[in-house]
Amino acid sequence: MRLPIPSWLVWPVYLFLINIVFPLTLLVIWPVLLLKEKRRRTLLPRLGFQRYPDLDDEGLRPVWVHALSVGELTSAIPLIEGVRARLANRKLVVSVSTLAAHRMAEKRLKGTIDGLFYFPYETAMAYRRCLARIRPALFVLVETDIWPGYLRHFSKCGISSLLVNARLSDRSLRSRRHWWCLFGAAFEAFEMIVGQSTGETERFASLGIERRRLGRPGNLKFDAVAQGANEGTGEGLRRILGFGVDDRIIVAGSTHRGEEAVVLSAFSRLREDDPDLKLLLVPRHPERAEEVVDLTIDAGFKFARLTDLESGDPDVVVINRIGYLSRLYSIAEIAFVGGSLVRRGGQNPIEPAMAAKPILFGPDMSDFPDIAPELIEAGGACVVGDGDEIHARCRDWLDHPDRASRVGSKALGVIEKHRGTAGRLVGEISNRLERKT
């Protein structure tokens, strides 16, 4: 149901909230925000107090790609690299919203882009200063992070905007529909919206967005192949972790509170028959690493942190840094995808599928409503509801590695079928820019 509020009334209220109430709220809670590094490092830049890329005012205006956080940036990298290769004569800048994504972009995109900055909040001072410096010819938003004021301004200024790898959770769909008086103008600003799948495209269509602006569906995550350094894969990665060449490894990736204890319990039972089995626990939020370490200690395992691997031959390694998960899947026998035993919508199952690993995840994969069922139907993944089911499935795959290999191959087959979105979008971006010159 849409609120029957006219846009002429909504916009003044929204601008008052974002320009007056929001800064005052930040001022009040400033001491609390300073306690967390990710807030200390990002708050002032996102309020506009940052140095923007020094772009030449002469020549072609830049392409601006925005990726909210690490997940969105990972998806965007093949697209960014493709745009760089195709449009070598045009500046290319990237913005992110989180400290983790900024650090990742500094590392992964060095030498590829012409500028990196934090996406400013929508306060008038912040976004006007940003747009005055960037002056994009095209704005590409990856997945999510819709700010109505920016998109409304882009539309008024004739700046092309594309939404790619787009998705709408059930909650977001309800919110956008309810507040269409605010978000309608934002969605209308996109010249094209490319959903991650046919199902996602239909969700956007249900909002009333014209079919002509809904592009051919495609998911950039399928093109985001991990590019680990030589020492970060295979024997080199095993050596770094303190594991032997023949050690068999289970990776529990992007886990949330409530899942690690279940995985550790199943792992304990698995080791009764396989005492050399190893476990990598990768919490979704690295700041939870010490909490996960405590659970590991309580379970009686010899453990190590990724950043402290002095103890040789650990049973369990807790990964307390981001950016390693896709490489860790490459050395796994079995992958468990977190956020799925608890109600968090699940995490990305595409990375372990790319590594051709048999995949387990819990019942809640609602954030991946298309790829998760497809993996199950293809025989590349299995749903587990508790520790007993995790134990039973892992035991079967460990005892029958040929069976596990076939499951992993089926998972990879799903990925291969969907690749190519990045190249297609690069062509679309290039064609749109050519029509504007």
Set out the domains of the chain in order of their start, with CATH numbers. 60-218 (3.40.50.11720), 230-418 (3.40.50.2000)
Res 58: pLDDT? 66
What band does 57 get if pLDDT is binned at 50, 70 and 90? Answer: low
pLDDT, residue 228, reads 40
Q: Above 60 in pLDDT, residue 247?
A: yes
CB-CB neighbours of 324 under 10 Å: 20
360 vs 396: CA distance, rounded Å: 13
The pLDDT of residue 36 is: 83
Q: How far does Cα 358 stand from its chain's mean position?
A: 21
pLDDT number for residue 412: 95
Selection from 76, 108, 94, 349 nearest residue 220 by Cα: 76
The pLDDT assigned to 436 comes to 73
* pLDDT at residue 153 greater than cutoff 90: no
Alpha-carbon distances, residue 230 vs 243, 244, 254, 282 (angstroms): 17, 17, 24, 21
Is the predicted pLDDT of residue 230 greater than 50, yes or no?
A: no
Query: Which range, of 45-59, 103-117, 225-239, 359-373, averages the lowest pLDDT?
Result: 225-239
Task: Work out the angle at residue 66's Cα, subtended by the Cα atoms of residues 75 and 23, and round it to the nearest 5 degrees.
Answer: 130
Mean pLDDT, the chain, integer: 91
- Per residue in 2-31, pLDDT (tens digit) is 667 777 688 888 989 999 999 999 989 888
Q: Are strands 359-361 and 334-337 parallel, antiparallel or unpaired?
A: parallel
Look at residue 99 and tell me whether its pLDDT is greater than 50.
yes
**Given a cut of 90, is residue 182 above it in pLDDT?**
no
* CA distances, 79 to each of 187, 191, 232 (Å): 22, 18, 24
Report which listed range, 70-74, 224-228, 231-235, is most confident.
70-74
Q: For residue 229, what pLDDT band results from cuts at 50, 70 and 90?
A: very low
Q: pTM for the complete prediction?
A: 0.83
Distance CA 340, CA 363 (A): 6
The C-alpha torsion from 236 through 240 and 242 to 246, rounded to 10°, is -10
Identify the pLDDT of residue 1: 63
Ramachandran region of residue 208, left (φ > 0), alpha (ψ -120 to 50) or beta? left
Q: Can you read off the two tokens belonging to residue 205?
A: 């269509």
pLDDT band at 314 (very low <50, low <70, confident <90, very high): very high
pLDDT of 308 strictly over 90:
no
Mean pLDDT calculated for residue range 179-194 = 90
- Tell me what pLDDT residue 437 has: 64
Please say if the pLDDT value at position 285 is more than 80: yes
The pLDDT confidence band at residue 231, using thresholds 50, 70 and 90, is very low
**Which pLDDT does position 194 carry in this prediction?**
97
Mean pLDDT of 330-334: 96
47 burial via Cβ count (<10 Å: 0-12, 13-18, 19+): middle
pLDDT at residue 316 tops 50:
yes
